């Protein structure tokens, strides 16, 4: 959770911890106050039998030796009798913070899980009241039926442990059970989900002592049985049904679980399977003891009167629903409310004043609502009471920052700890008054319009943990006082207009720093023997002048996960010591530098997920040992001087993106690449590869969205198998020796025809150059996802332009130039409404230029030069702006105002030329047919007229001479 007040636990976890704490007090165990107490021989033998059935790959139970089982890890005994009362074997070394978890780390974590069989010897532990096996992996075995014989059990937790099968009804025999946790894993914790099957929940109704139950991430085919059983638990205090795919809530006439204090039905599908949103059922009014209610990520509407009755509420989460302003009126009476999450609803500024009565309110989240315009001053009194204010992702908020931010003295008491205003249109100086919020821990104004300098006084915010100012218009120098923020964990000031030098002073006391992102155009000037006070997980210093040498201070960054140091003015080899800094690294971007030498040093970075070394001076061969990088999804080595063949071992990687363009690679495409069935982008353009066009590309790589093999020496026909890749959005085969005709089945490329958006996949580090609109252009990141390109230029293709290409209605760039195509331009080419660039130059095309091209409103480049087109050049609409005569040069039979050549009466050029005998498509040669038709009208009329006169002459003796004379 991103807010410090609830970072380590949400309210549900808090309730759980309180309940666990209470039961632990009741159990009254200790290991130190009664050192002479030992467990019984019966209990010790039962535990050893239990251990023998378990799989313990990492010897977590190595302490389970000797006679005194009270000293075993995870075992707790009664302080007076020595009886075993508690077994806690949950695994708690979770990977909580990593954004990308490599498979190797997952595999290593699985090794730490306990598994195997659960011995019935546990039944001999007559006093056992607490059993926690959560966060282990029991390989889908069923919960043992003998658990129902643990008569004194009051706490049972098997959540996130990989159990499966049907839940035994014998659990209903645990009459003393107070806490039952069968649910899934929390979203920020790794572990094997349970895969339970449910035939009935009637056994739950027998657990009359139950106070808390967690059934999160169950899938209920019929929830009626569940609700009926829950309604028979009068002592229930906490109910967690998060992520259970519930589509409705029951309509009880009588509610028996009125003692409920925590209720979580987040992330279900309530109200989503009907045309109208669901209402909060009236029986909620009876839950007057509710302190925590989470209805988030469902589809409830404004039937909100029930909230008025929930006067004990302290935490309310209605995020991701359809609530509007009427909700605020209902909430205005909840005087005990401390935490309110309204994220993703339809709230407006105008009615937020209704929250003025909530004097206890401390956390207010308003992300993704309908907040527009300047923040009303009338809300100042509400905001002044808050410790957390989130206005982010309301892109229509504008104007100055709220006055209480700029001038904290407007608040009687300054409580603000966390401020989130990212993705808004606040257009204001970074206020000097920000530093007067002495309790601030988080400032996040990412992607806003703040400008001016960061004040030196920001160094006073000694509690600041997160400072996110990326993508604003801040300028000037970075104040060295930032280096005094000793609690700072994340500093992101990237994508601003800062200038000047960043020195060691800027990092002097940042010993807690975990994420560092600096802005472009800065100069990082530290001594060669500088030892940073921090060990960070993420470094982003793209376009910061770091070089010319590879920075030595990175040697000490042993826990790096992300290193982005592109365009850093580094002229050096990749040092061997970098292998130590890449042990935990998932992302490495050293592109756009002047790195030399080879890349073999990376072969030990086995957790790498993405590598971008493009636009350097790297040389030598691509090392085959890259196959060691079993997590690698994206490899970009483009625009270097690498040589030799593409190693076959790349086919062993789980690659989705492979960019090797603009090198000196030779030989064939290794057939092992057909194993890359998840490959989305393959760019091998501008090398020296020589091979027949591989048919397996179309047969095996059917997830491809981008395929660039341009400027190589591929030969043969374009295989029809290529048409099997319906997801193909960008196809560039230009500059090869391909012959034959253009396959008509290219119409199968649905990405070019249906508007389907594939991806987004991974856009980090993606950079593609292409010759478009007559000039070289570079496309970066998300731009690539939006392009629809077909380039077959500079080959030896023959035949006509297939009419089927006109079905690719989302195509933006079409280049068929420098081939031997004949026939005419398909008339329906004007159906390609998104076409921006059209190049058909240097072919043998003939006929007229279709008038339909004038309807291409986005067309900004068209080259039809050096063909044999005839007739008038079309005019109108977008064609009026394409007034470069060179686009039509080499077509002597064209006429029109643009090329200053008049057309004769029949629409032809006045220049007399021999008409070539071309091979034309029947349905696209109407222009030529018209010419021959009109050319034959004169002689045909004369011959026909003379024949008619001859017939009349023969009929003269039959009495029709008068008719003839009259007609003449």
Q: Where are the domains of the chain?
A: 19-197, 938-967
DSSP string over 365-410: E--SS---BSPPGGGHHHHHT-SEEE-TT-TTBEESPPHHHH-GGG
For 194, the token pair is 């349970």
199: confidence class by pLDDT, cuts 50, 70, 90: confident
295: confidence class by pLDDT, cuts 50, 70, 90: very high
For 265, the token pair is 């039905």
Query: Do residues 843 and 822 lie in contact, with contact meaning Cβ atoms separated by under 8 Å?
Result: yes
Strands (E), 32-148: 54-55, 75-77, 84-88, 115-116, 130-132
CA distance 272 to 276: 8
Query: Do residues 821 and 799 lie in contact, with contact meaning Cβ atoms separated by under 8 Å?
Result: yes
| Total residue length of the chain | 968
Element (H, E) at 213: strand 212-214
CA distance 240 to 242: 6
Q: Which residue from 807, 817, 832 is spatially nearest to 772, judged by alpha carbons?
A: 817
Distance of CA 608 to the CA centre of its chain: 18
> For the chain, how long is the longest CA-to-CA vector?
149
Q: What is the pLDDT of residue 947?
A: 39
Assess whether pLDDT exceeds 50 at residue 226.
Answer: yes
Q: What is the pLDDT of residue 905?
A: 63
Q: Averaged over 518-532, what is the pLDDT? A: 92
Assess whether pLDDT exceeds 60 at residue 856.
Answer: yes
CA distance 369 to 346: 5
pLDDT, tens digit, 9 for 90 and up, residues 734-775: 999 999 999 999 999 999 987 665 554 444 456 666 666 666
Taking phi over 0 as left and psi of -120 to 50 as alpha, with beta for the rest, 436 belongs to alpha
- Identify the weakest region by mean pLDDT among 60-64, 321-325, 557-561, 782-786: 782-786
Assess whether pLDDT exceeds 50 at residue 821.
Answer: yes
Q: Residue 857 in 3-state DSSP?
A: coil
Q: What is the pLDDT of residue 111?
A: 81
What residues does 475 pair with on adjacent strands?
Answer: 497
Query: Do residues 328 and 351 lie in contact, with contact meaning Cβ atoms separated by under 8 Å?
Result: yes
pLDDT, tens digit, 9 for 90 and up, residues 541-581: 999 999 899 999 999 899 999 999 999 999 999 999 998 88
For 672, the token pair is 């092992």
Query: How far apart, in Å, are the Cα atoms of 179 and each of 10, 18, 208?
Result: 18, 12, 11
For 273, the token pair is 């399977």
CA distance 527 to 525: 7
Strands (E), 110-175: 115-116, 130-132, 155-157, 164-166
220: confidence class by pLDDT, cuts 50, 70, 90: confident
For 48, the token pair is 């050893």
| pLDDT winner (highest mean) among 264-273, 654-663, 903-912 | 654-663
Q: Averaged over 486-491, what is the pLDDT? A: 98
Q: What is the pLDDT of residue 932?
A: 35
Assess whether pLDDT exceeds 80 at residue 31.
Answer: no
Assess whether pLDDT exceeds 70 at residue 103.
Answer: no
Beta carbons within 8 Å of 218's beta carbon, 6+ residues apart: 182, 183, 184, 196, 198, 241, 244
Assess whether pLDDT exceeds 90 at residue 19.
Answer: no
Q: Which residue from 845, 849, 799 is spatially nearest to 829, judged by alpha carbons?
A: 849
For 929, the token pair is 């047919």
Query: Do residues 561 and 98 lie in contact, with contact meaning Cβ atoms separated by under 8 Å?
Result: yes
Q: What is the pLDDT of residue 274?
A: 72
Q: What is the pLDDT of residue 337?
A: 98
Query: How far apart, in Å, are the Cα atoms of 752 and each of 322, 702, 722, 731, 788?
Result: 35, 15, 14, 10, 6
Q: What is the pLDDT of residue 943?
A: 35
917: confidence class by pLDDT, cuts 50, 70, 90: very low
CA distance 401 to 425: 10
Query: Do residues 189 and 135 lie in contact, with contact meaning Cβ atoms separated by under 8 Å?
Result: yes
358: confidence class by pLDDT, cuts 50, 70, 90: very high
Query: Do residues 263 and 294 lie in contact, with contact meaning Cβ atoms separated by under 8 Å?
Result: yes
Assess whether pLDDT exceeds 70 at residue 605.
Answer: yes
pLDDT > 70 in the chain, percent: 84
Query: Do residues 602 and 580 lie in contact, with contact meaning Cβ atoms separated by under 8 Å?
Result: no
DSSP string over 18-45: HHHHHHHHHHTB-SSS-TT----HHHHH
Q: What is the pLDDT of residue 904?
A: 79
Q: What is the pLDDT of residue 964?
A: 31
Q: What is the pLDDT of residue 666?
A: 97
Assess whether pLDDT exceeds 80 at residue 107.
Answer: no
CA distance 384 to 375: 13
Assess whether pLDDT exceeds 50 at residue 944.
Answer: no
CA distance 743 to 721: 10
Q: Which CATH class is domain 19-197?
A: alpha beta
Quick one: 138 exposed, middle or buried, by C-beta within 10 A (0-12, 13-18, 19+)?
buried
CA distance 115 to 936: 92
- What is the chain's mean pLDDT, rounded? 87
- The residue with greater pLDDT, 733 or 965, is 733
- Identify the weakest region by mean pLDDT among 42-56, 220-234, 573-587: 220-234
Q: What is the pLDDT of residue 192?
A: 79
Backbone φ and ψ for 138, nearest 5 degrees, come out as: -110, 25
Q: Averaged over 505-514, what is the pLDDT? A: 97
Q: Averaged over 482-511, what is the pLDDT? A: 97
Assess whether pLDDT exceeds 70 at residue 822.
Answer: yes
pLDDT, tens digit, 9 for 90 and up, residues 619-644: 999 999 999 999 999 999 999 999 99
For 625, the token pair is 């040992």
Query: How far apart, in Å, are the Cα atoms of 61 and each of 51, 58, 191?
Result: 8, 8, 19
Q: What is the pLDDT of residue 224?
A: 82
- Identify the weakest region by mean pLDDT among 33-42, 317-326, 446-455: 33-42
């Amino acid at each position: 959770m991103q807010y410090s007040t609830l970072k380590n636990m949400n309210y549900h976890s808090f309730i759980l911890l309180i309940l666990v704490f209470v039961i632990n007090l009741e159990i009254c165990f200790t290991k130190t106050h009664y050192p002479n107490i030992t467990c019984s021989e019966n209990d010790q033998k039962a535990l050893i039998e239990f251990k023998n059935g378990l799989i313990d790959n990492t010897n977590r139970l190595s302490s389970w030796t000797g006679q005194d089982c009270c000293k075993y890890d995870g075992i707790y005994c009664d302080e007076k009798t020595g009886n075993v009362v508690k077994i806690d074997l949950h695994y708690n070394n979770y990977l909580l913070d990593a954004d990308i978890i490599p498979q190797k780390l997952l595999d290593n974590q699985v090794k730490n899980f306990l598994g195997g069989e659960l011995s019935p010897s546990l039944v001999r532990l007559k006093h056992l009241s607490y059993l926690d096996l959560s966060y282990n992996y029991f390989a889908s075995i069923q919960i043992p039926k003998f658990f129902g014989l643990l008569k004194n059990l009051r706490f049972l937790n098997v959540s996130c442990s990989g159990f499966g099968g049907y839940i035994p009804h014998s659990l209903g025999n645990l009459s003393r059970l107070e806490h039952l946790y069968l649910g899934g894993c929390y979203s920020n914790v790794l572990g094997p989900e349970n895969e339970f099957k449910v035939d009935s929940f009637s056994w739950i109704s027998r657990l009359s002592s139950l106070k808390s139950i967690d059934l999160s991430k169950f899938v209920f085919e019929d929830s009626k049985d569940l609700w009926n059983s829950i309604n028979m638990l009068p002592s229930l205090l906490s109910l967690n049904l998060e992520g259970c795919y519930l589509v409705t809530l029951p309509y009880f006439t009588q509610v028996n679980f009125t003692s409920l204090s925590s209720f979580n039905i987040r992330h279900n599908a309530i109200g989503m399977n009907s045309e109208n949103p669901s209402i909060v059922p009236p029986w909620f009014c009876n839950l007057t003891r509710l302190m925590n209610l989470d209805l988030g990520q469902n589809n409830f509407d404004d039937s909100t009167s029930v909230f008025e009755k929930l006067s004990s509420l302290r935490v309310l989460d209605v995020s991701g629903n359809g609530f509007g302003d009427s909700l605020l009126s209902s909430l205005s009476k909840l005087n005990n409310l401390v935490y309110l999450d309204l994220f993703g609803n339809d709230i407006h500024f105008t009615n937020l004043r209704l929250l003025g009565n909530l004097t206890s309110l401390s956390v207010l989240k308003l992300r993704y609502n309908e907040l527009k315009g300047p923040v009303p001053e009338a809300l100042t009194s509400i905001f002044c009471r808050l410790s957390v204010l989130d206005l982010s992702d309301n892109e229509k908020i504008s104007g100055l920052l709220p006055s209480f931010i700029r001038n904290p003295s407007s608040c009687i008491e300054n409580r603000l700890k966390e401020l989130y205003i990212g993705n808004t249109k606040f257009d204001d100086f970074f206020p000097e008054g920000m530093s007067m919020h002495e309790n601030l821990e988080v400032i996040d104004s990412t992607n806003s319009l703040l400008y001016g300098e960061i004040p030196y006084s920001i160094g006073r915010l000694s509690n600041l943990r997160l400072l996110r100012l990326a993508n604003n218009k801040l300028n000037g120098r970075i104040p060295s006082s930032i280096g005094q923020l000793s609690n700072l964990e994340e500093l992101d000031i990237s994508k601003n207009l800062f200038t000047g030098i960043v020195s060691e002073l800027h990092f002097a006391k940042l010993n807690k720093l975990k994420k560092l992102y600096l802005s472009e155009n800065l100069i990082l000037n530290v001594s060669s023997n500088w030892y940073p006070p921090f060990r960070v997980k993420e470094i982003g210093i793209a376009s910061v002048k770091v070089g010319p040498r590879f920075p030595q201070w990175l040697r000490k960054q042993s826990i790096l996960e992300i290193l982005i140091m592109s365009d850093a003015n580094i002229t050096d080899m990749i040092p061997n010591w970098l292998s130590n800094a890449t042990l935990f690294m998932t992302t490495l971007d050293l592109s756009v530098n002047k790195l030399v030498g080879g890349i073999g040093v990376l072969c030990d970075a086995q957790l790498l997920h993405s590598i971008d070394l493009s636009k350097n001076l790297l040389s030598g061969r691509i090392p085959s040992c890259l196959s060691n990088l079993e997590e690698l999804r994206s490899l970009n080595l483009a625009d270097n001087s690498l040589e030799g063949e593409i190693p076959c071992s790349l086919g062993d990687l789980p690659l989705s993106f492979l960019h090797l363009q603009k090198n000196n690679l030779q030989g064939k495409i290794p057939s092992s690449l057909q194993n890359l069935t998840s490959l989305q982008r393959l760019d091998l353009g501008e090398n020296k590869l020589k091979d027949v066009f591989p048919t397996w590309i179309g047969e095996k790589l059917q997830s491809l969205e981008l395929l660039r093999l341009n400027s190589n020496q591929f030969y043969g026909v374009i295989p029809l198998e290529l048409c099997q890749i319906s997801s193909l959005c960008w196809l560039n085969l230009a500059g090869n020796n391909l012959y034959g005709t253009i396959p008509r089945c290219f119409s199968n490329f649905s990405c070019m025809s249906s508007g389907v958006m594939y991806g987004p996949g991974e856009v980090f580090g993606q950079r593609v150059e292409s010759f478009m609109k007559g000039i070289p252009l570079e496309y970066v990141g998300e731009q690539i996802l939006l392009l629809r390109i077909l380039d077959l230029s500079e080959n030896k293709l023959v035949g006509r332009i297939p009419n089927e290409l006109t079905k690719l209605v989302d195509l933006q760039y079409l280049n068929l130039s420098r081939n031997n195509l004949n026939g005419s331009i398909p008339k329906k080419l004007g159906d390609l409404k998104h076409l921006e660039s059209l190049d058909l130059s240097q072919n043998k095309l003939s006929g007229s230029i279709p008038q339909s091209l004038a309807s291409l409103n986005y067309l900004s480049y068209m080259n039809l030069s050096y063909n044999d087109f005839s007739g008038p050049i079309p005019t109108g609409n977008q064609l009026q702006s394409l007034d470069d005569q060179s686009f039509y040069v080499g077509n002597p039979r064209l006429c029109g105002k643009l090329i200053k050549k008049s057309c004769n009466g029949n629409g032809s050029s006045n220049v007399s030329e021999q008409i070539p005998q071309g091979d034309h498509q029947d349905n696209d040669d109407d222009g030529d047919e018209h010419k021959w038709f009109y050319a034959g009208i004169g002689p045909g009329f004369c011959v026909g007229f003379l024949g008619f006169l001859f017939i009349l002459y023969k009929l003269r003796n039959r009495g029709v001479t008068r008719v003839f004379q009259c007609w003449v």
